[in-house]
């Protein structure tokens, strides 16, 4: 597992990320998301909804990983979208590399 995925797991344990498209969209509407990891194998509707909202709210999106890698780093199954909240702003610099 690479360094970014390890840091996503650390951010999850620090409770500074939200998981799932609906939770990420809700937090984005509240201007609480600073960075998004979107699985490159997400459904077209999910991909479009996240990308459109991210563009509107000016949030960066990474599609570098598939859902299996994202789920594995969190110890969960079937994770398509992960959002980094403003509480985890210090993780943003680490995760963008």
Is 97 a residue whose pLDDT tops 70? Answer: no
Q: Please give the distance of CA 84 from its chain centroid, rounded to a whole number.
A: 6
CA distance 49 to 44: 9
Between 70 and 96, the higher pLDDT residue: 70
pTM of the complete model: 0.90
Is 93 a residue whose pLDDT tops 80? Answer: no
User: In this predicted model, what pLDDT tens digit does every residue of 42-76 receive, in sequence order?
Assistant: 999 999 999 999 999 999 999 999 999 999 999 99
Domain segments of the chain as ranges: 3-95
CATH code of 3-95, in short, is 3.30.1330.30
Mean pLDDT in the chain? 91
């Amino acid at each position: 597992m690479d360094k970014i995925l390890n840091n996503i797991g650390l951010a999850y344990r620090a409770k500074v990320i939200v998981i799932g498209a609906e939770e990420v969209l809700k937090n984005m509407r509240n201007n609480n998301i600073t960075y998004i990891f979107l699985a490159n194998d997400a459904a077209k509707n999910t991909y479009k909804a996240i990308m459109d909202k991210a563009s509107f709210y000016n949030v960066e999106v990474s599609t570098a990983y598939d859902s299996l890698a994202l789920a594995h780093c969190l110890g969960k199954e079937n994770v398509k979208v992960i959002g980094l909240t403003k509480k985890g702003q210090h993780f943003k610099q680490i995760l963008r590399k």
